[in-house]
A = this chain, B = another copy of it.
Amino acid sequence: MSSSEADSTGIRRRFVVVGHDATTAGDFGLNDLAGATGRLDILLRCVNSAFLLSHDLRRDTELYLVLLGPPCPPRTLRLVGRELRHLNPDERSTAALLRQALRSPTEGQSSPGIHVKSLGLSTLLETFPNELVYLHENGTDIRQAALSLPTTFLLSDHHDLTPEEEAAVLGFRPQRLRLGPRPLHADHAILLVHNELDRRA
């Protein structure tokens, strides 16, 4: 891995997670996050694994959650490590933060480090000038891969990318990498990427 500096935003590791059914409204309750939010719970756990170290936060990391569920897709939440405050590891408190963001009808920052945008996947990927990595079980082993930072890592929720989404992603000529021999949840995959990059830093 090159020791290149972070880009102008200070970001060295960027994750994009597609939530195919994830709610785009802030009207959900906090007591059935796995059932009533289009599996937003998966994305909540991605927030935890993207940013949290023991007694520390990953300031060089940025996470985009692309929400494609009803009622008003697409909406994308951008979480910026060096700006985040009040991020706790539990799902419920993170859900409250994201709900606050989704309650805003417009684009902008809802709380420190959490921004709302009306972007879909392709438009979002076009905004990143850096290398794109598509995490996929048929890819090259990440331990054998050359990686330069900043890099954007793309993951999906409990659904694979649709054929249309995958075609769009392949248009960006991504490196396709796998993390191991078993099929993993998105939040677990983020953890393994971080560990590999930590070891090379």
Once A182-B53, A185-B54, A188-B191 are accepted as A-B contacts, the answer to whether A42 and B198 lie under 8 Å apart by CB is no
Interface size, chain A (Cβ < 8 Å): 36
Q: Chain A, 30-72, contact with B by CB distance < 8 Å: what is the 0/1 string?
A: 1101100000011001001100111110000000000000000
Most buried by B among A48, A52, A54, A179: A54
A42 proximity list for chain B (CB < 8 A):
89
A103 within 8 Å of B (CB atoms): no
A88 touches B188 (CB 8 A): no
Which of B52, B88, B184, B195 is the one whose CB lies under 8 Å from A180? Answer: B195
A185 proximity list for chain B (CB < 8 A):
52-54, 89
A192 within 8 Å of B (CB atoms): yes
Binding site for B on A (CB under 8 A): 30-31, 33-34, 41-42, 45, 48-49, 52-56, 88-93, 158, 179-185, 188, 191-192, 194-195, 198-199, 201
